[in-house]
Amino acid sequence: MTRRRWIADEVSGNTAALVGEHAAHLVRVLRAEIGQEFEIATGAEVRRGTITAISADRVDFALGQEREVKAAAQITLVLAIFKFDRMEWAIEKCTEIGVARIIPVIANRTDAHLAAAAPKRHERWQRLVRQASEQSRRATVPELATAVRLKDLDIALPARVVLAESLAGMEGSRLRDVLQSKPQPLALAVGPEGGWTDEEIAWFHEAGWAAASLGSTILRAETAAIVATALAIDELS
């Protein structure tokens, strides 16, 4: 039987714990009992965990045998900020697929009220990626950066690909073809609704990003993010 996996809030030697709302969900919703076994991700490894103590806002585990975990693909998703409900769906699904890092970017076409509200959503997005990581049995939670403007984006990676989606001046090859020559770690940049502006495309070009396309159809931003992430992980894993 496949055991549910939890990502520990606290780790000390051969013990770990869930605390706060994280623990409350296990206690109240899943009716945790002492002696139950789960898989516990500690950040460095995944181990079998047996519940040793339960309170309203804390669950303690004794850690046992280490579980074998496949190394995750090192892919950073640079995601322009767009309508929050659809953007959060993309964040959730790309986390489930296995992206290692997410950087929200305030693009030229990001609505002003969304740009202003983005810092207040960061805590919500952190909860979202944690929940999606546990649901998909990941060993680690992807790093979620605070929102930045494109001009302040600093990606020190050997491979960087921007989805140009047929914008004038930076048409790209199919993403799968581009990925065949790109090593890990990799960064993928996905624009907002309406795509990147000419000014932004020029910035990417000057910064050394390669251009790629997902085909002849125009995809919504959240669809493009999920498809691009899935293709990259499949190609590079």
In the chain, where are the structural domains located?
5-67, 75-236
Residues of the chain with pLDDT under 70: 1-2, 164-172
Q: What is the pLDDT of residue 164?
A: 66
Q: List the 5-7 sheet strands across, edge first.
A: 5-7, 37-41, 46-55, 58-67, 15-19, 10-12
**Overall fold of domain 5-67:** Ribosomal Protein L25; Chain P (2.40.240)
Q: Provide the pLDDT for residue 231.
A: 92
Residues 6 or more apart in contact with residue 173 via CB below 8 angstroms = 211, 212, 213
Can you give the pLDDT at residue 166?
42
pLDDT on residue 170: 46
What's the confidence (pLDDT) of residue 165?
Answer: 57
What was the pLDDT predicted at 232?
92
What DSSP state is assigned to residue 110? S
Determine the pLDDT at residue 101. 95
pLDDT in the model for residue 1: 54
What whole-number distance in Å separates Cα of residue 148 and Cα of residue 115?
A: 9
What is the structure's pLDDT at 199?
92
CATH fold group of domain 75-236: Alpha/beta knot (3.40.1280)
Classify strands 173-174 and 186-190 as parallel, antiparallel or unpaired. Answer: unpaired
Nearest to 218 by CA among 235, 236, 197, 193: 193
How do beta strands 173-174 and 159-163 pair? unpaired
